[in-house]
Homo-oligomer: A and B are copies of this chain.
């Protein structure tokens, strides 16, 4: 019989997807260029030429049975080595091949990380605002995702609430920095304090509380800064990375799990990935895409447009009177709505063909998300529309 858990999910359409569908329908009506669709976090800067060139080179020069053949169950050794070396050089952490497992993007990485260290009855804590897909990633694996309320003044961590929610049952804490949707990067201070608490509680409960870090926006940080690497602050860290955002290749499903070499049972955890993959039918990520990443592990698209867009929107929104933290990175900005009900706010915005996402799904009611991965020219054209909307509805 049909498994109810999945069938019941069909009714619950994602708000983001509904908005995006509205935007598409409206675009057909009035022209796509006239709909300011800020709903989807779909990278918009071109894929780097190096990615395309490398894939064509592999197709032209490699024996087809080797290029497209089965990967070993722990994924391709040369690529794992290339990723380890890149991380080692960049963060000064002594990663080796045995600490890396290539995955189908960060989704695959988190799905593996959760299954390594948590099962039914366990809890995984995350912090609002958070990416709603964490729910299926965690809940379908067996444990339960619990959400620590947001610290809305800074969108760093609400430590008071966090310390209350930690318990014997906590198997792991899942963070996302740079953060979708708030654009915040967790500071050194935040990561240090987080590590101190996790270390103390691991001792108290006599079992490690792992830190799972979702880091797909790591390369999109503004003002010439870099995001502090959570693994440097806490040994029992399982890093989950995706090349989706940095290379604009979200459809190619490529990323990795990197277990901190200082983590308890680090190499065993990676070996377990191979077993987890068998059960979820994931096996290895696509052979050719994996091999490309082994050749160009440090490549990125030209990501500067996101900073340009952010500055334009931040300045305009501030001038219009919005309460908004200036994002440290990502391609999201996260203002407070101009009325308590952000859903009503976003619905009114739709009348002006501004597609904004209310943050109720991110567990931050009263806020909304703008995904500014779009042309700068279009961002500029949207600014007077924001002004018109605010003045007509809220003045």
- Residues of chain A having any CB pair with chain B under 8 Å: 1-3, 5-7, 9-10, 17, 42-44, 46-47, 52, 55-56, 59-60, 64-65, 67-71, 73, 103-105, 107-112, 115-119, 133, 136-137, 139-141, 171, 207-208, 247-253, 265, 268-269, 271-272, 275-276, 278-289
Would you give 24 A-B contacts (Cβ < 8 Å), ordered by A?
A: A1-B208, A2-B117, A3-B116, A6-B276, A9-B275, A17-B73, A42-B65, A42-B70, A43-B65, A47-B68, A52-B64, A64-B248, A104-B104, A105-B281, A110-B281, A111-B282, A136-B275, A139-B279, A249-B287, A251-B288, A252-B287, A253-B286, A281-B282, A285-B286
Q: CB-CB < 8 A to A133: which residues of B?
A: 278
Chain B min CB distance to A304 (Å): 16
Chain B min CB distance to A244 (Å): 8
Chain B residue nearest to A286 in the complex (CB): B286
Q: Give CA–CA (A2, B172) in the complex, Å.
A: 11
Q: CB-CB < 8 A to A2: which residues of B?
A: 116-117, 265, 268-269, 272
Q: CB-CB < 8 A to A110: which residues of B?
A: 281
Chain B min CB distance to A62 (Å): 10
Q: Give CA–CA (A60, B53) in the complex, Å.
A: 9
Q: CB-CB < 8 A to A116: which residues of B?
A: 2-3, 6
Chain B residue nearest to A63 in the complex (CB): B46
Beyond contacts A2-B272, A140-B279: 9 other A-B pairs, Cβ-Cβ < 8 A, are A42-B65, A68-B251, A70-B251, A71-B251, A108-B282, A140-B278, A251-B284, A252-B288, A253-B283
Q: A253-B286, A286-B252, A286-B253 are in contact. Are A281 and B65 (CB under 8 A)?
A: no
Q: Which 6 A-B pairs have the closest CB atoms?
A: A111-B281, A140-B279, A251-B287, A47-B64, A136-B278, A280-B280
Contact indicator A56/B65 (Cβ below 8 Å) = no
Q: Give CA–CA (A142, B251) in the complex, Å.
A: 29
Contact indicator B10/A268 (Cβ below 8 Å) = yes
Q: CB-CB < 8 A to A251: which residues of B?
A: 67-71, 284, 286-288
Q: A6-B272, A269-B2 are in contact. Are A282 and B285 (CB under 8 A)?
A: no
Q: Give CA–CA (A359, B249) in the complex, Å.
A: 42
Q: CB-CB < 8 A to A136: which residues of B?
A: 275, 278-279
Chain B residue nearest to A113 in the complex (CB): B281
Q: Give CA–CA (A46, B59) in the complex, Å.
A: 13
Q: A2-B272, A10-B272, A59-B55 are in contact. Are A248 and B280 (CB under 8 A)?
A: no
Q: Give CA–CA (A272, B3) in the complex, Å.
A: 9
Contact indicator B207/A1 (Cβ below 8 Å) = yes
Q: Give CA–CA (A251, B145) in the complex, Å.
A: 33
Q: Give CA–CA (A70, B144) in the complex, Å.
A: 27
Q: Which of A112, A137, A275 has the most CB of B within 10 A?
A: A275
Q: Give CA–CA (A248, B66) in the complex, Å.
A: 10
Chain B min CB distance to A1 (Å): 5
Select one of B55, B68, B104, B285 contacting A248, CB under 8 A.
B68
Chain B residue nearest to A244 in the complex (CB): B70
Chain B min CB distance to A167 (Å): 15
Q: Give CA–CA (A212, B56) in the complex, Å.
A: 37
Chain B min CB distance to A332 (Å): 16
Q: CB-CB < 8 A to A104: which residues of B?
A: 104, 281-283
